[in-house]
Amino acid sequence: MSILNADLHCHSVVSDGTLSPEELAARAAANGVELWSLTDHDEVGGQHRALAAARSHGMKYLTGTEISVSFADETVHIVGLGFDADSTELREGLRRTRSGRRERAMEMAGQLAAAGIPGSYEGALKYVGNPDLISRTHFARFLVEVGVCRDTSEVFRRYLTEGNPGYVPHRWASLKSAVQWITQAGGMAVIAHPARYKLTANEEFALFSEFKAHGGQGVEVVTGSHTTAEYARYAETAREFGLCASRGSDFHSPDESHTDLGQLPLLPGELTPVWDVLSDRIL
Ligand code: AMP
Ligand code: MN
Ligand code: MN
Ligand code: MN
């Protein structure tokens, strides 16, 4: 059976989503998803639950995660798919990547307090499902709750981003480590939503070249974070670099996400889908 509706990128309460792995699986199945992956940020703690829930709905499953990487003064996200979720090296690498989030959050709260918004650390914590994974998204929900901003996109325009109150630069994993943790655990590394990064043309070329050299094999072409023009642009990049193509909504929450699970255009037909190459890893 050839798969058309694959959704290989979304987040649960194990990172910065608002639904449980079980609620996401039910929503994906209701939307007609045939192959699903839960890709929590820097964390694989939800994988066993996600697989069990996928099975209960008759969906095929690929293990997943989305690793935060520092590259050229920018944060780049690398999705891992189809790895062994019990790999010690991967779990240890992710644990190290998560460490430091609490201190970063306290600094973010300090800046927000100085900007006249007190109590944001405690406020953000109310939204955190995984004490190891306090993220900017949780602060954004608090800033909306207290009426500082109307919605989370306004938060990321006015706060928590470079040049704005609450922005704390952070050193994440290296590109090489992230790709290696994934591939050595039997999975495929995929560059997430490439259009989102503020990289020059040279830096973007370096990202794709180095990613390939480290063993990366895929790029997200159809994602909730891309426009239609960007689907075409990164379809071309996939061909240029000989990468296979992934598709995923990057769904976080029914209240915040524009793109629902499985509700995306199909991958352009001439590209090789990541799930063709990962057929042995589908559960
Ligand atoms: P962190 O890992 O703590 O830096 O948080 C990054 C998360 O913030 C991303 O995974 C998104 O969920 C969210 N985010 C970042 N930028 C934006 C934006 N412009 N609009 C909405 N959400 C964003
Ligand atoms: Mn997120
Ligand atoms: Mn991302
Ligand atoms: Mn994501």
CA dist., res. 231 & res. 264, Å (int):
11
Ligand 1 atom 8 nearest Cα: 137
pLDDT at 283: 98
Residue 277, helix vs strand vs coil: helix
Ligand 1, pocket-test mutation among 75, 137, 250, 253, most atoms within 8 A of CB: 137
Pair type for strands 35-36 and 60-61:
parallel
CA dist., res. 170 & res. 100, Å (int):
9
**Residue of 56, 57, 82, 62 lying closest to 184 (CA atoms):** 82
Give 189-233 as a DSSP string: EEE--GGGS---HHHHHHHHHHHHHTT--EEEEEETT--HHHHHH
**Residue of 69, 155, 43 lying closest to 108 (CA atoms):** 155
Print pLDDT tens along the chain (283 aa): 689 999 999 999 999 999 999 999 999 999 999 999 999 999 999 999 999 999 999 999 999 999 999 999 999 999 999 999 999 999 999 999 999 999 999 999 999 999 999 999 999 999 999 999 999 999 999 999 999 999 999 999 999 999 999 999 999 999 999 999 999 999 999 999 999 999 999 999 999 999 999 999 999 999 999 999 999 999 999 999 999 999 999 999 999 999 999 999 999 989 999 999 999 999 9
pLDDT at 161: 98
pLDDT at 275: 98
| Nearest-ligand number for the alpha carbon of 250 | 4
Residue 127 CA to ligand 1 center (angstroms) comes to: 14
Ligand 1, pocket-test mutation among 11, 132, 136, most atoms within 8 A of CB: 136
Residue 17 CA to ligand 4 center (angstroms) comes to: 9
Tell me the pTM.
Answer: 0.98
pLDDT at 247: 98
pLDDT at 1: 61
CA dist., res. 129 & res. 146, Å (int):
20
pLDDT at 276: 98
Phi and psi torsions of 222, nearest 5°: -100, 105
Q: If 0-12 CB within 10 Å is exposed, 13-18 middle and 19+ buried, where does residue 279 land?
A: exposed
Ligand 1 atom closest to Cα of 101? 3
Q: If 0-12 CB within 10 Å is exposed, 13-18 middle and 19+ buried, where does residue 103 land?
A: exposed
CA dist., res. 154 & res. 143, Å (int):
10
